Amino acid sequence: MKRILVFWILVVLIMSFVSGCNSGGDTPSAALETWHWRTPLPQGDNLSAITYGNGLFVAVGDNGAIITSPDGVSWIARSSGTNNRLNGIAYGNGLYVAVGENARILTSPDGMTWADRSDLQPFIPSLTEITFGNGMFVASGVFDRYIYSFTSLDGATWTNGASGIHAITYANGIFLAVQTYIPVHGYPWSQTVVTSPDGVTWTPISTLNWPFYISQTAYGKGLFVGVGGTSISPIIVTSPDGVSWTERASGTAEPLFSVTYGSGFFVVVGNNGTILVSSDGTNWVDRKQAFSGSFSGITYGNGTFVAVGSNGVILQSDPL
């Protein structure tokens, strides 16, 4: 009787082990396989970026497009009061802040009603991104080939910041960014990884010889991940500390535009329906969709990833 009992205990243990190995856990080979198109679309403008905050997904795009959703499934188009393209969106201090071309800056406490806060004259840069951390919004933009940054505590009053700052992320109490200088004649440009406790004062920590442009960074599992490259040579780079960086094989030839982290996974999106998934930033699995357009932005919230892109498309992962 004792032998039979021991036998069945061993069987249960072995089956549990095998089930754990095959269930996928946090392995990208078994996770994030299924994605769902969310239709009908609330509008048809290209969507550039998306964020999640205070229980709400907010996406922005061309012609001042702003759409919101509590769950990533049902979406509502909101009036932004502008026809300028919006390129970036962030949430912090109880406020959504969107930025775009012609130095357009919009704020909203609820994602529904938006106020124009554009006051960056005379630069009039095309603002391309915005990040929030440590009580500070940091926006970045381009004007006459030069990259500028701006900071704000409330989204309404803005101060000129350090030049060259872009691909900004906030993690572990610091901002990390790439500082790029592009000479008038083009190449070679110089790139330096910099950090800041407040988004105002930046300290160089690593000078890079990358022959490519990093468009966005994210942080998770003790790792910084940057994506970018060129239209013919996409790139993924990783670093545990922002100082030492390693190029990673992406497995795709498509340009990469956005990266985010959530629930143990990094997810990267790009051109021609490209979606890449990794649990460690080193090994990437292709989840490419049957879509000829681009995914320009992705975020994680409420237990799911949501990507946005060309012609107002919205793609959502299964819950994790």
The per-residue pLDDT for 184 is 66
| Count of structural domains, the chain | 1
Q: Is residue 131 part of a domain?
A: yes
Those residues with Cβ within 8 angstroms of residue 34's Cβ, 6 or more apart along the chain or in another chain = 317, 318
Q: How much is the pLDDT for 50?
A: 98
58-61: list long-range contacts, CB under 8 Å, 24+ apart: 58/89, 58/91, 58/96, 58/98, 58/111, 59/89, 59/297, 59/306, 59/308, 59/314, 60/86, 60/87, 60/88, 60/89, 60/98, 60/100, 61/85, 61/86, 61/308, 61/312
What pLDDT score was predicted for residue 270?
96
Dist. CA 193–CA 124, nearest whole Å: 26
Specify if 3 maps to a domain.
no
CATH number, domain with residue 245:
2.130.10.10
In a domain, 113, yes or no: yes
Distance of CA 3 to the CA centre of its chain: 56
pTM beyond 0.85: the answer is: yes
Q: Which two tokens stand for residue 272?
A: 């021609």
- Establish if 282 belongs to a structural domain: yes
Could you report the average pLDDT of every consecutive run of 10 residues in the chain (320 residues)? 38 35 48 86 91 98 97 96 97 97 96 92 84 98 88 94 96 96 70 96 92 92 93 89 95 94 97 96 94 96 97 95
pLDDT at position 230 is 75
> Domain range holding 143?
28-317
Check residue 283 and give its pLDDT: 95
